[in-house]
Amino acid sequence: MATVLTGGTVITAVDCYQADVRIDGEKIVAIGQHVHQAGDQRIDAGGCFLFPGGIDPHTHFDLPVGETATADDFTSGTKAAAVGGTTTIIDFATQNKGESLAQALTNWHEKADGKSYVDYGFHLAVSDLNESVLEEMATVIQRAGVTSLKLYMAYKNILQVDDSTLLQVLQLSRKAGLLVCVHCENGDAIDVLVKEARDKGYVEPKYHAFTRPIIVEREATYRAICLAEIAGAPLYVVHVSSAAALQAIEEARSRGVAIYGETCPQYLLLDESCYDAEGFSAAKYVMSPPLRPCANQAALWTGLKNGALSTVGSDHCSFNLVGQKDLGRSDFSKIPNGGPGVENRFGLLYTQGVGGGKISLNQFVAIASTNAAKLFGLFPGKGTIAVGSDADIVIWDPTVHSVISARTQMQKVDYNLYEGTQQIGKPRHVFLRGRNIVTDGFLNDDAPAGCYLVRKPYSAGGEYQCSGLI
């Protein structure tokens, strides 16, 4: 049976208009005023916005880190995504040292397949580059529908790559139609600063931030951009946290270089004062890059508004405060890095961005969904409301207000970074490829319906599409 969403206002990255949306099977088949046919099921969307399902381009589910692993796996992480209005996630399949990329992908399929409540794709996070891995990059991963890579300039002796590796991967990415994502912090400098702090007996969580100052992010961002320019390759800078790093991106973009920036809700909404929290609870905010002085937030919002930043990813990388973060109780450098956010990314961006008058409804859709679809080879199947697109639709009721709390969240972690924060609006329904998976905050079906997404190469329309990022 086909379904018609009636009386809502369709919001895309460019349009706002009242129309009914007819869904047949997995696709949107008609949009207009009189699109229903005899026998169609009708769902009232009066007073609501119809948004394309959110796309979170940055999650870490079931990621082993040191002697532990993230609290959320694909089951809990994608349930949380769904109830929050996100219907696609792109997770980082992370290569272990000595492992082939094909093996890393197999590992991630084992973690995700049959367990995901939203659609999912993988970026490949490369930690160990050699000749055969370079060869795999050119062929294997693209065949597997993985058209983006991630390299880390931080986490010395674990994930960090040197400049020569980064440059070679960028050169190859250009030829192979891959988009390289980079974690921009100078890992060597951080290593020195951490050793100095520990030698002085500074062990509390706040020293995580002191040992990763803005300049290590600014320098690495600038360096990565220079390497991308040398290679003539596009670059996606993940989790931009500071005005200084953003400035490096803006300057490159004004030279016409294809540099794309992502920021995260935590850098838009939280600041370094969180590290003053009593006792060890400041460990909740130990993430990389760390939270910054408040003044950076306005710059990041401006970057989203003027297009210097293209996306907001959650960087969901959750660890329980009790039993995981507290591995670093007597040494901040042993606190697993990262925080939760996949459930709240969409709602917070709407609340603070649209509700706070910082971005328009169209910009919200672009940042929360469309731009990620374009950059990562999913558009127009995902990221918009159009005839022929997947029926990934959020019926968003802007009149419902709620309060974010760990007590009521789907995320399987013992805290929420935004505890007590008011959210404006909530999904009344979430559709994943035509299937009504969420009603009034509850999952409708116990069976995970998420599918693996084979993504198109960046070069297949990427340059053209990405020049149209909003």
Q: Closer CB to ligand URP, residue 209 or residue 227?
A: 209
For residue 94, the minimal CB distance to Zn ion (Å) is 10
Question: Tokens 């596009």 — which residue?
Answer: 234
Q: Closer CB to ligand URP, residue 191 or residue 229?
A: 191
Write phi, then psi, for 380 (nearest 5 degrees). Answer: -100, 10
Which listed option, Zn ion, ligand URP, none, makes contact with residue 22 (CB within 5 to 8 Å by class)? none
Which listed option, Zn ion, ligand URP, none, makes contact with residue 86 (CB within 5 to 8 Å by class)? none
Write phi, then psi, for 289 (nearest 5 degrees). Answer: -65, 160
For residue 69, the minimal CB distance to ligand URP (Å) is 12
Q: Which of residues 80-99 bind ligand URP (CB under 6 A)?
A: none
Q: Which of residues 58-77 bind ligand URP (CB under 6 A)?
A: 60
For residue 166, the minimal CB distance to Zn ion (Å) is 17
Q: Closer CB to Zn ion, residue 314 or residue 409?
A: 314
Determine, following the binding rule CB under 6 A, whether residue 221 of this chain makes contact with ligand URP.
no
Determine, following the binding rule CB under 6 A, whether residue 448 of this chain makes contact with ligand URP.
no
Query: Please, what's the largest Cα pairwise distance for the chain?
Result: 75
Q: Closer CB to ligand URP, residue 91 or residue 204?
A: 91
- Give the span between the Cα atoms of 90 and 88, in whole angstroms: 7
118-147 burial, b at 16+ Cβ within 10 Å, e below that, comes to bbbbbbbbbbbbeeebbebbeebbbebbbb
Q: Closer CB to ligand URP, residue 87 or residue 288?
A: 288
For residue 431, the minimal CB distance to Zn ion (Å) is 28
How many residues belong to the site for ligand URP (CB under 6 A)? 8
For residue 180, the minimal CB distance to ligand URP (Å) is 15
Q: Closer CB to ligand URP, residue 12 or residue 127?
A: 127
Determine, following the binding rule CB under 5 A, whether residue 315 of this chain makes contact with Zn ion.
yes
For residue 78, the minimal CB distance to ligand URP (Å) is 18
Q: Closest by alpha carbon to 24, among 53, 50, 3, 52?
A: 3
CB 63 within 8 A of CB 23: no
For residue 338, the minimal CB distance to ligand URP (Å) is 3
Q: Which of residues 292-321 bind ligand URP (CB under 6 A)?
A: 315, 317
Determine, following the binding rule CB under 6 A, whether residue 337 of this chain makes contact with ligand URP.
yes
Q: Closer CB to ligand URP, residue 9 or residue 288?
A: 288
Q: Closer CB to ligand URP, residue 97 or residue 200?
A: 97
Which listed option, Zn ion, ligand URP, none, makes contact with residue 369 (CB within 5 to 8 Å by class)? none
Q: Which of these segments, 4-12, 198-206, 218-226, 311-319, binds Zn ion (CB under 5 A)?
A: 311-319
For residue 185, the minimal CB distance to ligand URP (Å) is 8
Q: Which of 83, 179, 209, 287 binds ligand URP (CB under 6 A)?
A: 287
Residues facing residue 123 across a β-bridge = 92
How many residues belong to the site for Zn ion (CB under 5 A)? 1
Determine, following the binding rule CB under 6 A, whether residue 288 of this chain makes contact with ligand URP.
yes
Q: Which of residues 183-202 bind ligand URP (CB under 6 A)?
A: 183
Write phi, then psi, for 9 (nearest 5 degrees). Answer: -110, 120
Determine, following the binding rule CB under 5 A, whether residue 262 of this chain makes contact with Zn ion.
no
For residue 317, the minimal CB distance to Zn ion (Å) is 6
Determine, following the binding rule CB under 5 A, whether residue 217 of this chain makes contact with Zn ion.
no
Which listed option, ligand URP, Zn ion, none, makes contact with residue 287 (CB within 5 to 8 Å by class)? ligand URP
- What residues line the site for ligand URP (CB under 6 A)? 60, 183, 287-288, 315, 317, 337-338
Residues at the site binding Zn ion, with contacts judged by CB under 5 A: 315
